[in-house]
Structure 1
Amino acid sequence: MAETENASLASIELLSDLPAKALEDLSKRCSWRTFQINEQVIDRQSDSCDLCFIVKGRARVVNYSLSGREVTFDDREGGAYFGELAALDGEPRSANVVALEETVVASLSQEGFHDLLHNYPQVAVRILRNLAKIVRISTDRIMDLSTFGANNRVHAELLRLAKPGMKDDNTAEISPIPIHGDIASRVSTTRETVARVFSDLTREGILQRDRDALVILDVEALTDIVETVRGESD
């Protein structure tokens, strides 16, 4: 089992340059569990302070309003991690995490996490950079919620989702294809609004749905739509 765990932790981006012996030792300090689809991995307000590595699968960071409305913050793929806030400050969890498919998670105790940061400062730097990225994204989303109408919030979210799949020919691919309800929960609108925006963008030649991906055919045009509303265009 240790050999399998070591190989699995080697796929975690945060730990990418740790020596093999360090990964082996870290594997032994982790508790390992497989979660099934829709199973809760972390409960908001729980007193758990573990840092969690997604060895395999996919999970969603999400909260629910008092009325039960789902608000999605992010989806995490295999090789990612979550739970760093509680692991850093010992406060209750700030969000729920739910498995989107069969997901293998290796959990490192708060003490083990602090040892990791102390022994490998480059890991601490990566944690800080990721937290800075989260703050920037959150700031943009707060501004969008405060200043954009529902249609434009969908435009902005599509642009965010497209960034990792951008190509040199002014196109981008979003894969897997996002579900309307997922985008709606990210930008505080309805599935019907998302469907209407997708239809409008398709008619305008900006968006196309392929078998395995949502294709942005004109990234510049979508960017112009978003930046014009933000007042950032020339």
Structure 2
Amino acid sequence: MTTIRPSETLARVELFHSLPPDTIARLDTRCIWRRARAKEWIIDYQDESTDVFFLITGVARVMIRSISGRETILRDIEAGAFFGELAAIDGQTRSASILAITDATIAKMTATTFIETVTSHPDVSLRLLRFITGQVRMLANRVNEFTTLAIRERLITELLRLSRANRADPREAIVSPPPVHADLAGRISTRRETVTKELSAMEREGLVRRGRGALTLVDVPRLVAMIGDKEDALDFKT
């Protein structure tokens, strides 16, 4: 990563939305501002650093790598979010790797400044607690999926999670742009070839339809029934 002159501000970070402008301005000056290029690793698994990173522009991805070398995608991080807070809180090594998916602008804050800010502002502390609680729930759901669902069920669950409702047809949902098979494999902890095989079978069965720029889930109620009506899979974008 190369240092750039900061033209952005932490005011874009949801965690700090309640802070007054003068406090934000002071925090801006206490950060190191950097630009990461697409496909650049920002944090490595088990790295001993404890800084917290705020994603001002771009998209990043949280990944873990198994002993066998297989990579699992946990989630994508959008602009306005942050990562690295666990190491800042407990001082332990990094629990996951972070990869820049697009070019990104990042503000790096020391653990000391982060803890000082959180403990000095109860509203920021509450936002952080709610965020961590949400991550715990998400990871619990993922563990449940990996241990109780077959590969096709995991694939359907992930497609539903990535989709948005089709306003023209309430029975359909759309994934756009269409997901890369290797990325889907990483999200559900399987092989790319398996995802390709399952999607082809689902297309033959009339469950999905591939089109230019999108993958359509043809019958959402039927797909939901196939995975046992998991509520977390129904959070469509509208």
The verdict on a shared fold, with TM-score over 0.5 as the criterion, is yes
Aligned to 1:109: 110
1:142-193 CA distance string (max 9 Å, x none): 122222221111112222223xx34663443334432111111121212122
Once the two structures are TM-superposed, the CA of residue 61 in structure 1 deviates from its matched residue by 1.0
Aligned to 2:84: 83
Counterpart code for 2:8: E
Please show how residues 195-210 of structure 1 align to structure 2 within 5 Å: 195-210=196-211
For residues 24 and 205 of structure 1, the distance between their equivalents in structure 2, rounded to whole angstroms, comes to 54
Aligned to 1:72: 73
For residues 34 and 226 of structure 2, the distance between their equivalents in structure 1, rounded to whole angstroms, comes to 44
Please show how residues 148-167 of structure 1 align to structure 2 within 5 Å: 148-162=149-163, 165-166=164-165
For residues 81 and 139 of structure 2, the distance between their equivalents in structure 1, rounded to whole angstroms, comes to 19
Please show how residues 163-182 of structure 1 align to structure 2 within 5 Å: 165-166=164-165, 169-182=170-183
Higher percent of residues as helix: 1
Larger displacement relative to structure 2 (32-41 or 208-217)? 208-217
Once the two structures are TM-superposed, the CA of residue 229 in structure 1 deviates from its matched residue by 9.3
- Number of residues of Structure 1 aligned to a counterpart in Structure 2: 225
Structure 2: state its 5+ residue gaps. Answer: 232-238
8 Å Cα contact 2:224-2:230 kept in structure 1? no
Once the two structures are TM-superposed, the CA of residue 95 in structure 1 deviates from its matched residue by 0.7
Give the SS at the match of 1:10: helix
Once the two structures are TM-superposed, the CA of residue 42 in structure 1 deviates from its matched residue by 0.6
RMSD: 2.2
Percent identity, please.
Answer: 38
**TM-score (norm. length: structure 1):** 0.86
Please show how residues 128-139 of structure 1 align to structure 2 within 5 Å: 128-139=129-140
Please show how residues 1-234 of structure 1 align to structure 2 within 5 Å: 1=5, 4-6=7-9, 9-162=10-163, 165-166=164-165, 169-227=170-228
Going from structure 1 to structure 2, the CA distance change for 1:207 and 1:15 (only over 3 Å counts) comes to farther
Give the SS at the match of 2:216: strand
Moved over 4 A (4+): none
Counterpart code for 1:62: M
